[in-house]
């Protein structure tokens, strides 16, 4: 369970580690890492007081396990969801036969025409189950669940990656692989 302050810090980390490191005057390295010491100093400079043990709590209790420390604990990065171009060293993997994508009605017509596009992010994000896809769609309104024939996509040579926090990623999903409700 994420507390209010944990959520606030998580939002700030998402902004900085996925989209706008410059918001805190930081730079990500090519693999998306930033030094924990630098991050904490920059957060403090912005007027929030966050120490290492609070950061540990935020990473550990995060509802989607969005962030990860390096093995030695000296660096931190977002596991997926970036709009800035970084290589988070995703492992290519065989996906489950079926994956899901939660969206909203207003996008369905465009998705029928041009498939699922990565939009602002580095990949199209797919969920392993309807419940998760439904949560993703709910961020924008009444969720519409699309079913993706990942098995066929994979057989046709499309690559899938599994993020460190269990999100399936791919480059594009053509509408021929999508079952619309
Ligand atoms: C839609 C959150 C028009 C797509 C979530 C989605 C997820 C199209 C939106 C993660 C389209 C992009 C990712 C097309 C796709 N025409 N609209 N051709 N193709 N779309 O946020 O999947 O809390 O970039 O359906 O829970 O919603 O940030 O992707 O509605 O895991 O960790 O364009 O972000 O996780 O939106 O969400 P997004 P998403 P976090």
Q: Report d(CA 113, CA 62) in Å as an integer.
A: 36
Residue that is written with structure tokens 């609070």 in the block = 54
| Mean pLDDT over each residue of the chain, to the nearest integer | 96
Strands 91-92 and 124-126, how do they pair? unpaired
The response to whether residue 85 sits with its C-beta less than 6 Å from ligand 1 reads no
The answer to pTM > 0.95 is no
What are 62-91's pLDDT values in tens digits? Answer: 989 999 999 999 999 999 999 999 999 898
The response to whether residue 107 sits with its C-beta less than 6 Å from ligand 1 reads yes
Atom 27 of ligand 1 has which residue's CA nearest to it? Answer: 136
CA 181 → CA 5, 50, 103, 111, distances in Å? 38, 45, 12, 13
Atom 4 of ligand 1 has which residue's CA nearest to it? Answer: 103
For the chain, the first-to-last Cα distance in angstroms comes to 33
Q: 38 alpha carbon to ligand 1 midpoint, in Å?
A: 30
The response to whether residue 15 sits with its C-beta less than 6 Å from ligand 1 reads no
pLDDT of residue 3: 83
The response to whether residue 169 sits with its C-beta less than 6 Å from ligand 1 reads no
Residue that is written with structure tokens 């930081």 in the block = 26
Q: Report d(CA 95, CA 92) in Å as an integer.
A: 9
Half-sphere exposure of 89 (CA within 13 A, CB side): 8
Burial bucket for residue 142 (CB in 10 Å: 0-12, 13-18, 19+) = exposed
ipTM given for this complex: 0.97
Atom 6 of ligand 1 has which residue's CA nearest to it? Answer: 103
pLDDT of residue 70: 96
What are 112-137's pLDDT values in tens digits? Answer: 999 999 999 999 999 999 999 999 99
């Amino acid at each position: 369970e994420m507390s209010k302050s944990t959520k606030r810090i998580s939002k700030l980390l998402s902004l900085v580690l996925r989209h706008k490191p410059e918001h805190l005057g930081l730079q990500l390295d090519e693999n998306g890492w930033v030094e924990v010491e630098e991050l904490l100093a920059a957060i403090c400079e912005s007027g929030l007081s966050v120490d290492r043990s609070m950061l540990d709590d935020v990473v550990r209790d995060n509802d989607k396990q969005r962030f990860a420390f390096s093995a030695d604990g000296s660096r931190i990065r977002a596991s997926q969801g970036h709009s800035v171009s970084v290589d988070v060293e995703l492992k290519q993997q065989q996906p489950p036969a079926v994956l899901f994508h939660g969206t909203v009605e207003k996008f369905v017509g465009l998705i029928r025409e041009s498939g699922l596009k990565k939009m602002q992010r580095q990949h199209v994000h797919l969920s392993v189950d309807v419940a998760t896809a439904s949560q993703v769609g709910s961020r924008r309104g009444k969720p519409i669940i699309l079913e993706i024939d990942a098995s066929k996509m994979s057989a046709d040579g499309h690559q899938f990656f599994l993020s460190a926090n269990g999100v399936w990623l791919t480059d594009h999903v053509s509408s021929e692989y999508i079952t619309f409700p």
